[in-house]
């Protein structure tokens, strides 16, 4: 500290109540210190979004160039940018544009409540029934624009995203007392998974249960007409088909994944499930098997 004071790098202010500050010169920094306040005409952002979406789908959108400036100021590398009010999807557009500019690998998380568009609005008349529908389409279109302008970096630029909705568990509530259960309910509880849930629904819940990121790579493959999911280049394999054959189990086991997930209802009987587990132990003994 004495050396800094001797070198004249500490400003103590005009009075004893001032907070000492460190002097830093512009030639010593890579970037200019940003202003606390800067002005940008919001009408330009509205015009650009109107052009991108083919019409006035959103009133008073945030300016993606302003958000990009903020992203550039305070983030780098693989930082995650969170926007609790997704709106028209401006933040996603800005993050992708900044990644294209400096080669970063930032990711974005956009959250939007299930707000419906006005039934008399241009957006509603053109198929956008909700704000989130506008967000998703804006991200798709802006991603294409950003890639087209990215030049050589376009090939490695990741502009993909996943759309998820908050919902109840995929599993049926089976915690019922005998007095509150009738014969009809018992027949409905034979399957532990809700009837309206897809394989992707089940897979995402498995990823959450195991603490895996929802951005992890997911691929689909088929074997003998049966669909299965390959996650993180084979670290996890999941099959939620109505019927899982031993041939499919052998195919999955031959890949020696760290984890495998099946539906309990996919096995015709306990004997079939036990045989499947035995096949996995023999071919891939270190695979962790989960049945839901």
Averaged pLDDT, 257-270? 88
Contact 111, 85 (CB under 8 A): yes
Residue 267 has pLDDT above 80, yes or no: yes
Four-CA torsion 240, 241, 242, 247, nearest 10 degrees: -120
Closest CA to 85 of 65, 58, 104, 105: 58
Per-residue model confidence as pLDDT tens digits over 74-101 = 999 999 999 999 999 999 999 999 999 9
Per-residue model confidence as pLDDT tens digits over 32-52 = 777 788 888 889 999 999 999
Averaged pLDDT, 157-178? 81
Q: What residues have CB less than 8 Å from 177, skipping those under 6 apart?
A: none
For the chain, percent of residues with pLDDT exceeding 90: 64
For the chain, percent of residues with pLDDT exceeding 70: 93
DSSP 29-91: SSSPPPPS-----THHHHHHHHHHHTS--SSSPPPHHHHHHHHHHH--TT-EEEES--TTTHH
CA–CA distance, 62 with 54 (Å, rounded to integer): 17
What are the residue boundaries of the structural domains of the chain, listed by start? 1-166, 178-291
Residue 12 has pLDDT above 50, yes or no: yes
pTM (predicted TM-score):
0.77
The per-residue pLDDT for 169 is 85
Confidence category of residue 184, pLDDT binned at 50, 70, 90: low
The per-residue pLDDT for 26 is 74
The per-residue pLDDT for 186 is 47
Per-residue model confidence as pLDDT tens digits over 203-254 = 999 999 888 999 899 999 999 899 999 999 999 999 999 888 899 999 999 9
Give the chain's mean pLDDT. 89
Averaged pLDDT, 52-79? 95
């Amino acid at each position: 500290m004495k050396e800094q004071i001797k070198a004249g790098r500490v400003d103590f202010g005009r009075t004893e109540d001032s907070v000492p500050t460190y002097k830093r010169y512009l030639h010593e920094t890579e970037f200019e210190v940003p202003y606390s306040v800067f002005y940008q005409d919001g009408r330009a952002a509205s015009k650009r979004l109107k052009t991108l979406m083919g019409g006035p789908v959103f009133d008073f959108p945030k300016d993606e160039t302003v958000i990009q400036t903020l992203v550039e100021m305070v983030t780098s590398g693989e930082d995650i940018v969170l926007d609790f009010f997704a709106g028209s999807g401006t933040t996603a557009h800005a993050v992708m544009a900044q990644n294209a500019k400096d080669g970063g690998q930032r990711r974005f998380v956009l959250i939007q409540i299930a707000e419906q568009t006005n039934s008399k609005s241009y957006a509603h008349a053109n198929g956008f029934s909700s704000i989130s529908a506008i967000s998703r389409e804006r991200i798709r279109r802006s991603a294409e624009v950003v890639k087209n302008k990215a030049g050589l970096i376009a090939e490695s630029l990741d502009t993909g995203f996943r759309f998820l909705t908050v919902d109840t568990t995929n599993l049926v509530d089976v915690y019922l007392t005998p007095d509150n259960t009738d014969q009809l309910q018992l027949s409905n509880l034979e399957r532990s998974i809700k009837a309206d849930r897809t394989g992707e629904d089940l897979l995402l819940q498995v990823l959450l249960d195991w603490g895996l990121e929802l951005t992890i790579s997911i691929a689909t493959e088929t074997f003998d007409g049966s669909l299965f999911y390959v996650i993180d280049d084979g670290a996890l394999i999941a099959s939620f088909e109505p019927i899982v054959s031993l041939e499919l189990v052998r195919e999955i086991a031959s890949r020696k994944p760290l984890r495998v997930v099946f539906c309990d209802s996919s096995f015709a009987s306990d004997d079939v499930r036990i045989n499947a587990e035995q096949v996995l132990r023999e071919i891939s003994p270190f695979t962790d098997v989960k049945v839901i």
